[in-house]
Amino acid sequence: MSMQPFASETGVCAALMRNNIDTDQITPGHTGMKVQKTGFGEGLFFNWRYLPDGGDNPDFVLNQGPFRDTKFLLAGTNFGCGSSREFAVWALRDFGIRAVIAPSFGAIFTSNCYMNGVAPIILDEAAVSAIAGEIAPDHCTMTVDLVRQVILSPDGHEHRFHIPDLQRERLVEGLDAIDATRKRDDQIAAFQTADKLRRPWVYAVEGAAA
């Protein structure tokens, strides 16, 4: 999967202001069991988004008018905590969400976002709540600029954020991390050679045969 580049995007922003939205809620396990990396958009927030009879739950924000095309999602603290399942990020991406904006994120989720072209943007609680307060169905267009590292809220307020350079460049260019790291194989080999002298037991894995 090559990643979709993300320099500056403008689109619909929705608010899901709950704390601790874990990856089990983002993609309940029963919706994500496929040995592949795409095709998970339908399962996003499954238990909240659909009624027991399979129909759309009209109370859930992503089922409401313009928010069906949500590109940016605002959330409470600790978004993406819980299981490491990358399905959660694939579902957000497949739905069309390019960035999640929250006061804090699960650490594994953050890494998974970088690997898949979704921007995990940290803003303080006051800023997230302020933007959430601006949003209305007819007033939900926002811009996220990863090059300048600013968000332009629906009311036109600028909020600065920071994503580490390397991760940000990869998001902006849509670069594959493995290809980039493989170019450093000499460095990795040199590390291992030196480390073998210091910690030989790490590399001499005995035990029974495979």
Partner 1 sequence: MGRTFFEKVWDDHVVADLGDGAFLIHIDRHFLHEVSGAVSLKEIDARHRTVRNPELTFGTVDHVLETVPGRGMTTRMPGGDDFLREFTERIGPHGIRFFDLHDPRQGIVHVIAPELGVALPGMTFICGDSHTCTVGGVGAFAWGVGSSDSEHALATQTVIMTKPKTLRVNFTGQLRPGVHAKDMILALIAKYTADGGTGYAIEFAGEAVRSLPMDGRLTLCNMAVEFGGRTGTVAPDEITFAYLKDREFSPRGADWDRAVAYWRTLASDADAVYDMEYELDCSTLEPQVTWGTSPEHSVAIGGVMPDPAASADPIARTSRQRAADYAEIEPGSPVMGLPITGAFIGSCTNSRIDDLRAAAAILKGRKVAEGVTAICSPGSTATKLLAEAEGIDRIFIEAGFEWRESGCSLCMSGATGGESFPRDARVIASTNRNFEDRQGPHVRSHLASPVTVAASAIAGHIADARAFASKEDEQ
Nearer to partner 1, 40 or 72 (CB): 40
Q: Where are the alpha helices (DSSP H) in the chain?
A: 23-26, 46-49, 87-95, 107-115, 125-134, 165-173, 177-182, 185-198, 200-203
Compose the 19-48 pattern: x for residues touching partner 1 by CB under 8 A, - for all others. xx-x-xx--xxx--xxxxx---------x-
Strands 119-122 and 141-145: unpaired
CA atoms within 13 A on the CB side of 78: 9
Cβ proximity to partner 1: between 20 and 64 the closer is 20
Distance CA 77, CA 72 (A): 16
Report H helices in 12-163: 23-26, 46-49, 87-95, 107-115, 125-134
Q: Which is nearer to partner 1, 136 or 205 (CB)?
A: 205
Q: Interaction with partner 1 in 137-166: which residues (CB under 8 A)?
A: 164-166
Binding residue count for partner 1, defined by CB under 8 A: 65
Binding flag, residue 133, partner 1 (CB under 8 A): no
Q: Which residues bind partner 1 (CB under 8 A)?
A: 1, 17-20, 22, 24-25, 28-30, 33-37, 47, 76-78, 81-86, 89, 104-108, 111-112, 115-116, 125, 129, 164-167, 177-178, 181-182, 184-185, 187-188, 191-192, 195, 198-208, 210
